[in-house]
Amino acid sequence: MRTVAVRRRGFAFLALVTCAGAGLLAALLLVASPSAIAQTVTGTTTGTTTSPPPTTTGTTTTGGTTTGTTPGTTTATTTTVTTTTSTTTATTTVKRPPKPRPAPRPRRPTTISAGVTIGGDIFVGGLSPAQAARILRSQFARPLTIRVAKRTLLATPRQLGAVAHGAEAIRRARHTRPGRNVPLRVTIKAVPLDRYLNRLAQRFDRPTVDSRLLLRNGKPFVTKHQLGRALDRGPLERALRRSLKTHDRNPLSATLRSIEPGVSRSSFAAIIVIRRGANRLSLFDGMKLRRTFGIATGQAQYPTPLGNFHIVVKWSNPWWYPPESDWAKDAKPIPPGPGNPLGTRWMGISSPAVGIHGTPDAASIGYSASHGCIRMLIPEVEWLFEQVDIGTPVFIVP
């Protein structure tokens, strides 16, 4: 009996070891499975041992139910394992890649590169923008030198309407390679420049002065003429604009053009002076006496007029027409010829019905015998006729 009991106890122990191995195997399978994350494992083990009588009962369920009963004094009920497998569906959302960030802008240098110039001769290399702006304003504001008629004048760019775009040039200079030149743009306003040139012209322009014919001590006197002058504005304006745009401050020379007067001493050639009281006619070439003639002048009741006149008409072999006067109211016109009272030449002056003419009455020369005209011998009046022109001055003095 004792041997039978020992055998039963061995079988019970073997059953327990078998159940434990099955549980361990199931656990290993669950851990190694790909869907182990989504699985739920539930295990229940109930064990009851009653001694004596030595009866052994073992029940094992794996994925089902197995019941085994062994007569004896020990009873064991073991292991119920339930395995539930669930399926998990995963949804994947594809995200757009983030936009690339723009590259950071390079920082502006705090100073201008070495050797950089503005406007050709304004050095700003190694300076800050504020320092460069001060130097640029100072250099551009330098006055221009203008020489006019042996005088030296100074004109600032502001007076001439020039504006330099310095901020624009400095911005470009900050990004310019060392040793480069940055042009300086200059704007010139027309109104201030024109105003300055007008003031300059008013100061230096001079009007012409014509010569005048006077009578001094019974002789003609011609005053001296004076040349005029005018500022030659075109070349000066172009030179000013060029100097302002190129920042050149070399002296500029303004030209004054000479203007000839309309009447000068050379404008006067033949001049006739008649001295009524002496019955003499003198011909001058300007202020130089050429020749003197004896004449007849008007009677006391028909005096030759005094004053300044000029020749208005010249006739050869003229007709004589009776003037509107009492002494000629019954007279008739006389054609040219030996009996014509005007002789062969007539030079009418700007006094009505008065002129210089020849006469067939040579005995009247040297006396006041005419009706107001100036009589001359026929050969002499013909010579004088060729020496004078319309417009020749005629002075008749007492």
Which sequence positions are flagged as catalytic? 357, 373
Letter for the amino acid at 51?
S
- Judge residue 136's burial from the number of C-beta atoms within 10 Å of its C-beta, 0-12 exposed, 13-18 middle, 19 or more buried: buried
d(CA 391, CA 310): 5
Q: Give residue for tokens 């923008």.
A: 129
* Residue 328 DSSP code: G
Contact indicator for 363, 377 with CB cutoff of 8 Å: no
Contact indicator for 156, 143 with CB cutoff of 8 Å: yes
Contact indicator for 3, 45 with CB cutoff of 8 Å: no
Beta-bridge partner residues of 13: none
Beta strands in 63-172 (DSSP E): 66-70, 80-85, 117-118, 122-123, 144-148, 151-155, 162-164
> Tokens for 206?
């001079």
**Does residue 317 sit in helix, strand or coil?**
coil
